[in-house]
Structure 1
Amino acid sequence: MSATTTAYVSAPDPVRAPTLRRRLTCMLYEGVLLFGVLMASTAVYVLAQPALRQLGANSMYVAQVWSFLVMGVYFAWFWQRNGQTLAMQTWRIRLETLDGGRVRWPRAVLRFLLAWLWLPPAVAVGHALGLVKGPFVAVLVGALLIWVMLAWLDPRRQFLHDRLARTRLIDLRPPSATNAASSK
């Protein structure tokens, strides 16, 4: 091969982040799957309620912590296993470290926790304004949308929690599928 022909050999594609639209659609699908996971975990919690009552640990907050832990284990387990939850497998999105490596348990747990950073300020604003029900939910949704839109400020189009956890989401579709989808 001469020097002139080597210039035309295609170099590996740079890592492409999935579009925000694909990530949000994946998140919606993830919500459907999580509904089933949380229903099963709630059944376990209901079965454990008599024992929790005897321990004096049966409250709304214990149930919320239980659900949060179940979600954390769900996400961290899939992310450390192959970088993809079931929804991410469907949408061909994978989570990896910045150098392209597998995400291990500590980083997966850290990413899960960092993904919730938008919530405490939103709750504080809602409570400070004395909001309840619909308006309170509107503040939460607004804060979540702002959190998601921060990805547009990142040069690699990654979420803030990915930047902080030193992870990235990548698009696993072949470049031809990516180009065809973006032209629609």
Structure 2
Amino acid sequence: MSAPALADTPRPSALLLRRLAALFYDLWPVLALWMLVSGIFTLGYTLAGHASRENIHPFSALQWLLWFCCWLVAGLYATESWKRGGQTLGMRPWRLRLEALDGKPLRRSMLWKRYAVGTLSLLCGGLGFVWALFDRQRLTLHDRLSGTRLVKL
């Protein structure tokens, strides 16, 4: 019986600190996208004639719409980056890449599920990331539920 080829051995899953560092790097392009969306939103609000009377009230329907648009644009950034090369800008310097657990190509449905569950994980204080500390394969909750894994190159 021969030893498995080097290409057949799975890459190690990314450590939690490396994941968080990549997430911090990705914060910057996402903030730029949010500023762009907010600028367009504000321009539309101003051109509609509302800005001369009052600002957008906190927790109003317009405020929630703005937050949803920002979430959606950040999701497009992440899912399209993952779909194209398995990496966002923040994942490249940390040498991380997203793969499907079954080895098949990444599907948009699994990427959006990963993004949505990852968002909920962050809103819950990062509990889905802490999951990786106790998982045998070092997978986060959003890895498990979406059928993906982040590997170190």
TM bracket (short chain): 0.7 to 0.9
Question: Which residue is equivalent to 1:96?
Answer: 99
Structure 1 residue 150, shift from structure 2 partner = 1.1
Matched, 1:23 2:19: yes
1:36 aligned to which of 21, 32, 40: 32
CA distance in structure 1 between the partners assigned to 2:122 and 2:96 by the alignment? 24
What secondary structure does 1:94 align onto?
strand
CA distance in structure 2 between the partners assigned to 1:165 and 1:10 by the alignment? 28
Structure 1 residues 166 and 10, CA gap change in structure 2 (3 angstroms): closer
Cα contact 1:82–1:102 (8 A) shared by 2: no
CA distance in structure 2 between the partners assigned to 1:91 and 1:70 by the alignment? 23
Larger Rg: 1
What is the alpha-carbon root mean square deviation over aligned residues?
2.4
Structure 1 residues 77 and 47, CA gap change in structure 2 (3 angstroms): same
CA distance in structure 2 between the partners assigned to 1:62 and 1:48 by the alignment? 13
Structure 1 residues 52 and 95, CA gap change in structure 2 (3 angstroms): farther
Matched, 1:65 2:65: no
Structure 1 residue 119, shift from structure 2 partner = 5.8
Instruction: Report the identity percentage.
Output: 32
Higher relative contact order (CA 8 A, sep 6+): 2
Cα contact 2:102–2:147 (8 A) shared by 1: no
**Unaligned residue ranges in structure 1 (runs of 5+):** 123-142, 173-184
Q: How many pairs does the alignment contain?
A: 142
Structure 1 residue 42, shift from structure 2 partner = 1.5
Structure 1 residues 84 and 51, CA gap change in structure 2 (3 angstroms): farther
Q: Give the TM-score of the pair, scaled to structure 2.
A: 0.80
Q: Give the TM-score of the pair, scaled to structure 1.
A: 0.68
Q: Residues 48-94 of structure 1: CA distance to partner in whole angstroms, max 9, x if unpaired?
A: 224596xxx97211111111111111111111111111111221111
CA distance in structure 2 between the partners assigned to 1:48 and 1:108 by the alignment? 31
AA of the residue aligned to 2:131: L
